[in-house]
Amino acid sequence: MKPLAKPVEELPREQLPHHEDPRCVPVRRLLQTVGSKWCSLVVAHLEYEPRRFSDLKRSIGGVTQKSLTATLRELEKDGLVNRVVTPSIPPRVDYSLTPLGRTLLVPLKALTNWAIENEAAVSSARERFERENGPD
Amino acid sequence: MKPLAKPVEELPREQLPHHEDPRCVPVRRLLQTVGSKWCSLVVAHLEYEPRRFSDLKRSIGGVTQKSLTATLRELEKDGLVNRVVTPSIPPRVDYSLTPLGRTLLVPLKALTNWAIENEAAVSSARERFERENGPD
DNA sequence: CGGAATCCTTCACGATACTG
DNA sequence: CAGTATCGTGAAGGATTCCG
């Protein structure tokens, strides 16, 4: 049998990123940001239209004002979310996705869709794991 | 001027997930898993070939045995990683991606690529934010 | 070699109260 | 309305030690 083009063992392992690789820094920061408890819901709720703070808080539900503020600040820092203050009485603050934030939407939705599509496979894997290794 | 098909205000806001929406559960679990400190590096190092524990630990670098074990266990629970024990002396344990884990690779790499491609935009946004709101 | 067990620090997040 | 300030908690992660 003819050998394949290149045995797996000879693939460029030395190109794999060490944890000090500079490319790891932005990747880890992004993943930790989107992995924070409320980030994905906030982004989802900003997809179609700008939203006011308490509007966002009410329609997401279960989030404290502090956590929502922190999540929005983090997204604002990264240039993903725009914050527009209208100094009226009562004050009004609108949040929306920036163009940069919109480009993130594509790969982020791909990942969340994976989670939904493979939910059954993952949870049955977890049940199997608990059967074999104890429910500790 | 002819009105567009549907004003933004009439988009299906009621379809946006409330935090108690059952679909949120697997999404948040996955995002938190991939957002954990070492997950992305571990998955990247398993992409091309199975790896032994200390091999993995050495080539990733900077990770403690405890954190590496915890990360691998979590991935194993979710059915993304396979753990194969060879009871020799000294013992040998090989980790590899399952077929399910391989399918995750696609959307996950899309997201990490976004982070790398937009690193400049994000970090300049952060600098701007600090200039305007103080480096506190 | 591949862990488990233990201790310790940090930090994300929630609850609550107060303010321009 | 849209925050800030403060306090308390659990969970994540690091350092170290011991084991089959």
Footprint of strand D on the protein (CB under 7 A): A 52-55, 65-66, 69, 72, 83, 90-93; B 36-38, 62-67, 70, 90-91
Determine what percent of chain A is predicted with pLDDT higher than 90: 85
pLDDT grade, residue A5 (50/70/90)?
A: very low
Q: What are phi and psi of B45, to 5 degrees?
A: -75, -15
Which range has the worst mean pLDDT, A104-118, B11-25, B44-58?
Answer: B11-25
The pLDDT assigned to B7 comes to 52
Angle between helices B119-133 and A99-117 (to 10 degrees): 120
CB atoms under 10 Å from CB of A34, counted, come to: 23
Question: In whole angstroms, what separates CA A79 from the centre of its chain?
Answer: 15
pLDDT grade, residue B2 (50/70/90)?
A: very low
Bigger pLDDT: B81 vs B133 = B81
Closest CA to A79 of B28, B130, B40, B135: B130
pTM (2 d.p.): 0.90
Is 70 exceeded by the pLDDT of residue A9? no
The pLDDT assigned to B15 comes to 80
Instruction: From the CA of A45 to the C1' of D16: give the distance in Å.
Output: 45
Strand partners, A81: A97
The pLDDT assigned to A2 comes to 42
What count of Cα atoms within 13 Å lies in the side-chain half-sphere of residue A7?
4
Footprint of strand C on the protein (CB under 7 A): A 36-38, 62-67, 70-71, 90-91; B 52-55, 65-66, 69, 72, 83, 90-93
Whole-number CA gyration radius for chain B: 21
Q: Which fold has domain B8-133?
A: Arc Repressor Mutant, subunit A (1.10.10)
Average pLDDT over residues B2-23: 69
The pLDDT assigned to B12 comes to 61
Is 50 exceeded by the pLDDT of residue B52? yes
Average pLDDT over residues A24-30: 97
* DSSP 8-state assignment for residue A48: S
Instruction: From the CA of A72 to the C1' of C19: give the distance in Å.
Output: 21
The pLDDT assigned to A15 comes to 80
The pLDDT assigned to B13 comes to 62
